[in-house]
Structure 1
């Protein structure tokens, strides 16, 4: 099962690390506790829209960009979990014999 909060946490952590920021720096910029941000990044807590907006501001990344990245990641994970369709075997098919003609008798 794909959980949105896991993908969101992965995207936020990746963005933070790419910028060389620590949890402490993001915490100070977003005015959110370090522990809570850590739980969001690990997918243990759901981020409210207000919290997400604060984190995006602290990371200096548009909310829409984060949401697009999360959406792409969720789609990628869903495609990995999708069942593989079973195709018919490649055996040659034989024509079916036609049924014998019925002969009616007038007895």
Structure 2
């Protein structure tokens, strides 16, 4: 089950990291303790709407944009849950392909897929177009 507080926390942390800002900078600007902001980002605490608005303001983001991003993530998770069923080892399967998800943080997730018990080869990388 996906938790809304975790999805919102991931969205806030990703925005902060894209701006290359520290927890201390954002917590000071939002007038929230550093530890509490960290717990919100990790999805351990659920922030009030007033606190979310203050954090978004400190990040220069619209609250509606953060909530829209969270909504899109939840919608995608619901679609996946309708197609895939959980496996005993924590993965998901559609009966033929099993996917293991390993989250290493808000910006790094590893997926490992197996088909009929054999690992599927990684997709070939497409060359990136050269800038003109």
TM-score, normalisation: structure 2? 0.62
- Residue 53 (structure 2) aligns with: 53
Aligned-residue offset at 1:83: 4.2
2:66 aligned counterpart, secondary structure: helix
Higher percent of residues as helix: 1
- Residue 76 (structure 1) aligns with: 76
Q: Which has the larger radius of gyration?
A: 1
RMSD: 1.4
- Residue 44 (structure 1) aligns with: 44
Aligned-residue offset at 1:18: 0.5
Residue deviations 1:24-58, cap 9 Å, x none?
00001000000000000000000100100100010
Aligned-residue offset at 1:78: 1.4
Higher percent of residues as strand: 2
Where do 4+ consecutive residues of structure 1 move more than 6 Å? none
- Residue 18 (structure 1) aligns with: 18
Q: Distance in 2 between matches of 1:21 and 1:49?
A: 22
Pairs aligned (count): 85
Which structure has the higher relative contact order (CA within 8 Å, separation 6+)? 1
1:64 aligned counterpart, secondary structure: helix
